[in-house]
Amino acid sequence: MNKTVLITGATSGIGLACARKFAENGDRLILTGRNEHILAKIRKELTARGTQLMTLAFDVRDRQKAKKFIDELPEEWKEIDVLVNNAGLALGLEPEYKGDFDDWETMIDTNIKGLLTMTRLVVPGMVQRNRGHIINVGSVAGDAAYAGGNVYCATKAAVKALTDGLRIDVADTAIRVTNLKPGLVETNFSNVRFKGDEERAKKLYTGIKPLTGDDIADVAVYAANAPEHVQIAEVLILATHQASGSVIVRK
């Protein structure tokens, strides 16, 4: 049965890969992102392949705008089967005592509060219908801090706690809750972290074959399509030569 899948942060990286993979699966999509122009290009690409989709241009940090968009979904789009809370970012690698206050706020407001906002707006409908699936994109960084990761690692540790807590909250329903924890994935993630410093971003992937957004999207689609009695609660996905958030063997 085809599903209605809402993906946040769908304009690049893991979010865009998820959009393409769920589209290949025959699902219909609600894609959110901050850049309306990029969303329009993605809509054109996927509708040309026969995918039904809507695009909503807003920042998950803007709770009022998020609520307005979700509340005003057309009736035939209101029953969201899968919520992929993907929107997130890392900024900087400074020691905690030298961190940038604005960077901290952006990470906390996006990675934690944005995820909470979308969960709060979408999951009540799932509870009412007694079906649905929430897939939160966490990180290996949520398992243990690494040098310079401090606040970003804390936000992804929060994603794990919030995912586990939600799974407990909906255990009396047929709703499933998944935490995907990628390791080193080559997307624009590092370009954002280093604020456009492409050389610095490239160095992160030197000497190792990193994961791709498609690798993570494959797991998301699998989890969403597992038999109804199977809940893929948590998946840690690492490159072959990565052992943890801080142990990477480069050759």
Residues serving a catalytic function are 152
* Locus of tokens 């072959």: 240
Comparing CA positions, the residue from 54, 59, 57, 56 lying closest to residue 77 is 54
- CB atoms near residue 147 (< 10 Å): 9
Alpha-carbon torsion, ordered 203, 209, 212, 217, to 10 deg: -140
Instruction: Give the whole-angstrom CA distance, residue 135 versus residue 87.
Output: 12
Instruction: Give the whole-angstrom CA distance, residue 251 versus residue 236.
Output: 23
What is the spatial order of strands in the sheet that 234-237 belongs to?
A: 53-57, 28-33, 4-7, 82-85, 133-137, 176-182, 234-237
Sequence-distant (≥ 6) Cβ neighbours of residue 211 within 8 angstroms: 182, 183, 184, 185, 186, 237, 238, 239
End-to-end CA distance of the chain: 44
Give CA separation, 82 vs 18, 47, 115, 241, in Å: 12, 20, 14, 32
